[in-house]
Amino acid sequence: MKDDIQRVLYSEEEIRQTVRQLGAQISRDYAGKNLLLVSILKGAVVFMTDLMREITIPCRIDFMAVSSYSGTVSTGDVQILKDLGMPIKGYDVLIVEDILDSGRTLKYITEQLQVRQPQSIRICTLFDKPEGRKAPVKADYVGMLVPNEFIVGYGLDYNEKYRNLPYIGVLKPEVYGG
């Protein structure tokens, strides 16, 4: 797998420090609130696992699985494959996403959750790729900015590979035909 990586963009330690800072900020901002973390599967599960260990206030967790990609390209058609397992009315929902790229998926999810009457909905993304934005979505918590390149690792994949890398790397274009 390492031979497929063009360069390391963010090291394991840089990610760990960023997640620690995000957890501290979320803990301050949501103190005294009814926090529900919603992880978007599969990519965000690694981030959410580390993030929730850095959050020092009570919180609940749940998961959604959505699909909008085929290979390296967003189809623009978002489908919910797994919905939440609990009602969210009255909760302060924090959507936890691995990367905010086109914004289409998060726009769709936010709209779907809003009709369920949560107290609030905000977005936390570990990686933000503003150059890829197609929908008007802005995260409330952003860990790191990433260039408009195909990145993998720390939950991010290409055809279900590379999620288990402990760092973020730029995938060589010849691997994905780019």
Domain definitions of the chain by residue range: 13-146
What string of pLDDT tens digits covers the 178 residues of the chain? 789 999 999 999 999 999 999 999 999 999 999 999 999 999 999 999 999 999 999 999 999 998 775 555 555 678 889 999 999 999 999 999 999 998 998 999 999 999 999 999 999 999 999 998 889 999 999 999 999 999 999 999 999 999 999 999 999 999 988 6
The topology under which CATH files domain 13-146 is Rossmann fold (3.40.50)
Residues 61/36, Cβ–Cβ less than 8 Å: yes
pLDDT at 75: 59
Give 121's contacts (C-beta < 8 A, 6+ positions apart): 93, 94, 95, 110, 113, 114
Whether pTM > 0.85 for this model: the answer is yes
Radius of gyration of the chain (CA): 16
Residues 51/17, Cβ–Cβ less than 8 Å: no
Q: How far is CA 81 from the centre of its chain?
A: 16
pLDDT at 70: 55
pLDDT at 132: 83
pLDDT at 1: 73
Active site residues: 101
